[in-house]
Structure 1
Amino acid sequence: MSDCGEKAVSVIGFIGSVFSPWYRWSGRKNPANHCCINVATYGKGGRFTMTDRGEAALRVSDNTFQVGPSQMHWNESQLVININEVSGPPIISRVRGQIVITPDHITHVEMPLTPAGTHVWRPFAPKAHIKVDLESKGWQWEGHGYFDANFGTRALEDDFSYWTWGRYPLSDGSLCFYDADRRDGSKLAVGLKFEDTGDIRVLDASPKVPFKRSKWQVRRETRADAGYRPHEVKPMLDAPFYTRAAVRTQFAGEETIGVHEALDLNRFRSPLLKPMLAVRVPRRKGWQFQSDAD
């Protein structure tokens, strides 16, 4: 999010694009054949890009993840993301430029989200500086950021019916909350505070507080001090099964604005939703890198 609070960006790299209808329709046999670098910008002039690409577009090394014309590269101190994508409807346009994430520090936390370890969360940099430089007027800004990863061996909708996640910056670190309803009837409820010193503290669960549903009526809740009512301050992504927004809440008396997500996996597993998603997630199976053509 920008320091002014007016703009935000999300970039997600996928091998086995979990929200792609094409991957689902393929039977999820070959994750590498459904890869993507999803870029969404929020604020005036915001765009959404999510192109499902084939295996020919994928290149992975120890420090670089490339999908077609876009790539993420770790240079030992920063994550440098070079973007060259085309946004989907209703406004089709080029989204091109660079985003640099500079972590305050790197953690070694790796947390299973299911008892069997079929899904794992890895918060590499819970607090970071972000610098955005896109080829569009007004899309050069700096702010606070975050860098994590999720790994899985099963479809999300097979193991979860609902989950919510939030990352909130604090004056002395940042907080992350993960809450989920699993298909087996058990629940995930995790709160971690990442101190600026590098220490990590497991939090006693603050009350889980519901707040206003999204425009698509996706249920939303997050953690907050007792008696405090969280609320959305900036809408970001609003889909029939998924919502992302900047949310104001309070912990230990400190108000903070962070990024909150909620995911209704009962809705997502509906086959009726997949054709709708295909409009927003085009499939491009062919690709040739310039070096291969030389």
Structure 2
Amino acid sequence: MTERGRNSVERSRDTLAIGDSSMRWLGDKLVIDIEERAIWLGCPVRPVVRGQVVVEPEVWSGQSFALDPARNHHWRSMAPRARVRVEMERPELSWRGSGYLDGNWGSEPIEDGFADWHWSRAHLGKEAAVLYEGVRRDGSRFATALRFDGSGRAHEEELPLGAPLPPTRWLMGRRTRADRGHARVVRTWEDSPFYARSAVASRLFGKDVLAVHESLSLDRFKSPIVQWMLPYKMPRRP
């Protein structure tokens, strides 16, 4: 997560390299090599995060979705279900389990299109569920509940009830949806002034699930104070 200049970026049909980190397709596997620096008092220091992540999709999906009427922003769940292997050298740890792969792209900065959004993904046996909702920059709201079947095809479901969640330590609001309108934060993995990622337990489409959940406040992200703080957290190109 280091800002870099154009000369530090390389892209081909199967590979994207940014600085010393890269991702590349090897057959049906996505191999992600990580070599990132920490930052102290605004200055990068020696590499402290190094390792490899391998994502093997179990189910592919070719469907993409426009998130705004002007179609400036799109989202696609490429692999609603995947197997993931993590092997880190620094810190020394490893992990294997179930995962997911998606992507967003657009023709304008994301903060120009949205005020906030809230997203979650959960496994439902051999299927997967994705909930997406937020507020666009013009004040209009959007919300979608998708269920991906075993072949990777997305089916739009009736929206579950809104389920409030407690704010983060930075007092950022977050919300989700669930059967009977009840959900519980099990653990928050990442908590920043404008972004949070958590594990959320709920009941969804008749099944008890443990979902990966994220909330993003673009109003906070674009605020002058957060923009001033970012270089102290993430190495920034001069």
**Preserved contact between residue 2 and residue 235 of structure 2 (Cα < 8 Å):** yes
Q: Within 2, Cα distance between the matches of 1:163 and 1:93? A: 32
Percent of pairs with identical residues: 37
Q: Which residue number in structure 1 is paired with residue 54 of structure 2? A: 100
**Residue 216 in structure 1 maps to residue 167 in structure 2:** no
Please state how far the C-alpha of 1:171 moved relative to its aligned partner.
1.0
Determine helix, strand or coil for the equivalent of 2:224.
coil
Count of aligned residue pairs for this structure pair: 235
Q: Which residue number in structure 2 is paired with residue 81 of structure 1? A: 32
Counterpart of 1:277 (choices 225, 230, 235) is: 230
Q: Which residue number in structure 2 is paired with residue 174 of structure 1? A: 128
What is the correspondence of 1:133-212 to structure 2 with a 5 Å cutoff? 133-136=87-90, 139-212=93-166
Counterpart of 1:127 (choices 81, 94, 100) is: 81
Q: Within 1, Cα distance between the matches of 2:209 and 2:40? A: 33
Moved over 3 A (4+): 88-93
Letter in 1 for 2:29: Q
User: Normalization by structure 1: what TM-score?
Assistant: 0.76
Q: Which residue number in structure 2 is paired with residue 53 of structure 1? A: 4
Determine helix, strand or coil for the equivalent of 2:211.
strand
Q: What residue ranges of structure 2 are gaps of 5+ in the alignment?
A: none
Please state how far the C-alpha of 1:136 moved relative to its aligned partner.
3.9
Which structure features the higher share of strand residues?
A: 2
Cα deviation per residue 1:236-283 (whole Å; 9 max; x = unaligned)? 111111111111121122111121111112222211211111111112
Counterpart of 2:13 (choices 38, 48, 62) is: 62
Determine helix, strand or coil for the equivalent of 1:53.
coil
Cα deviation per residue 1:208-259 (whole Å; 9 max; x = unaligned)? 21111111111111110014x2111121111111111111121122111121
Pick closer, same or farther for the CA change 1:255–1:89 going to 2, 3 Å. farther
Q: Within 1, Cα distance between the matches of 2:219 and 2:151? A: 40
Q: Which residue number in structure 2 is paired with residue 29 of structure 1? A: none
Please state how far the C-alpha of 1:93 moved relative to its aligned partner.
5.1
Deviation larger for 156-165 or 194-203 = 194-203
Q: Within 1, Cα distance between the matches of 2:34 and 2:194? A: 26
Q: Cα RMSD between the aligned structures? A: 1.8
Determine helix, strand or coil for the equivalent of 1:128.
strand
Q: Within 2, Cα distance between the matches of 1:245 and 1:87? A: 23
Determine helix, strand or coil for the equivalent of 2:159.
coil
**Residue 71 in structure 1 maps to residue 22 in structure 2:** yes
Pick closer, same or farther for the CA change 1:254–1:88 going to 2, 3 Å. farther
